[in-house]
Structure 1
Amino acid sequence: MRWEDLFADLELQWEAVEAAELEAEIADRTRREAGYLRLLDRLRPAVGAEVRCLLRGGPTAGPAAVTGRLTALGVDWLLLSESGPAEVLVPRSSLLAVRGLPTVSAQPGHEGRLAARLDLRHVLRGLVRDRAACAVALLGGGQLTGTLLRVGADFVELAEHPLGGFARRGEVRSGWTVPLEGLAFIRRG
């Protein structure tokens, strides 16, 4: 055996070991970095895409499913546009699973200061301001229809009336106070 052949073989072995170590290090770093990802980071690249969400509770006792284009999201909510003018506001606490997310994730912590402050209560206050009639699906099953009147620190108040009507004195059947943790989703439109 020639010395050149021996050195070439050793060099190839060394390069193979280095390549294997590098590959193992990259895989380890990838797994470690995935540990820093939040659901928000997985959802951000999907804005504008069609997704399907499985939710806890809903109008029936079992899991509910809503499908639509993800149009906006905040730290604890997401908004889907269904076919037609309907929109569904989903509190993150009622989310069980999401299908249709891209394989890429957004960089953790880069949602911006404004998006970080736009929590579910802020969005619900917008519905109160609009005096929009909506259907409120509850986690334990059941559905309320009416107009949101007020948003507190951990609750929302609803004047119950038929969806086609308005929150006028003669049309309001009753009022409901719903803890935010009790919301499965809110459909408007």
Structure 2
Amino acid sequence: MRWDALFEDLESQFDALTEGDLYGEVADRIRAEVGRITVLDRLRGGVGGTIRVELGSGNAVQGVLSRVGKDCLLLAAERYDEWLIPATALTGVHGLGPWAESEQGAVAAKLGLAHLLRGIARDRSPVTVFCVGVDQHSVTGTIDRVGADFLEMAEHPLDAPRRRGEVYNTRLVPTTGLAAVRRREG
């Protein structure tokens, strides 16, 4: 009988060690997997939901996360405003669920900030540009050109069309200094 008790005790200790090793290994694998998730993966998991983002310019924007590109996100806010925000301008994001989603498709992987800025320039949409580190300062006008790492805009009042008589300055903004671009939808 004593031998049976000894073997049962040894078996239970072995089971406990094996179970502990298994839980430890699972926890290590989970930590390694979470370590590969990026900010953009987390944002992709929240597409369709309402979030609030804080920007390096000191502004905060709330809206429905409609799209996540390779280096930026698009928010649909109140009053038909669309916000194009570089991922590098984010200082905080609130309201995301627990999900993450990796990049999908070759086209989505190529759609980035420069591509979307070129689309806005092609549409000739009037925009408000917010720059990093400049509290509550914005510039209104029309994006004329988008280079590899900059945009050029003609500054004019938001409610005035881009006409020579309305343009009072031409500004070059490096994309590294861009906090957000707000555009009023149709």
Q: Tell me which amino acid in the other structure corresponds to 2:115.
A: H
- Name the CA distance, whole Å, in 1 between partners of 2:167 and 2:24: 64
Which residue matches 1:158? Answer: 153
Number of aligned residue pairs: give it. Answer: 182
Decide whether the 8 Å contact of 2:145 with 2:151 is kept in 1. yes
Which residue matches 1:84? Answer: 79
1:125 to 97, 101, 118: 118
Shift, 1:131, TM fit = 0.8
Give unpaired runs (5+ residues) of structure 1.
58-62
Shift, 1:7, TM fit = 2.4
Instruction: Please give the secondary structure, in 1, of the residue aligned with 2:104.
Output: coil
Q: Tell me which amino acid in the other structure corresponds to 1:55.
A: L
> Is 1:69 matched up with 2:69?
no
Which residue matches 1:60? Answer: none
What TM-score does the superposition give when structure 2 sets the normalisation length? 0.92
1:177 to 160, 164, 172: 172
Q: How does 1:1-189 map to 2 (within 5 A)?
A: 1-57=1-57, 63-107=58-102, 110-141=103-134, 142-189=137-184
**Identity across matched positions, percent:** 46
- Name the CA distance, whole Å, in 1 between partners of 2:13 and 2:177: 62
Q: Tell me which amino acid in the other structure corresponds to 1:46.
A: G
- Name the CA distance, whole Å, in 1 between partners of 2:100 and 2:30: 12
Give unpaired runs (5+ residues) of structure 2.
none
What TM-score does the superposition give when structure 1 sets the normalisation length? 0.91
String of CA shifts for 1:68-126, please: whole Å, max 9, x gaps: 1100111111011111211111011111121122212224xx43211111111100011
Instruction: Please give the secondary structure, in 1, of the residue aligned with 2:9.
Output: helix
- Name the CA distance, whole Å, in 1 between partners of 2:68 and 2:117: 13
Decide whether the 8 Å contact of 2:40 with 2:87 is kept in 1. no
- Name the CA distance, whole Å, in 2 between partners of 1:138 and 1:37: 28
Instruction: Please give the secondary structure, in 1, of the residue aligned with 2:79.
Output: coil
State the Cα RMSD in Å. 1.4
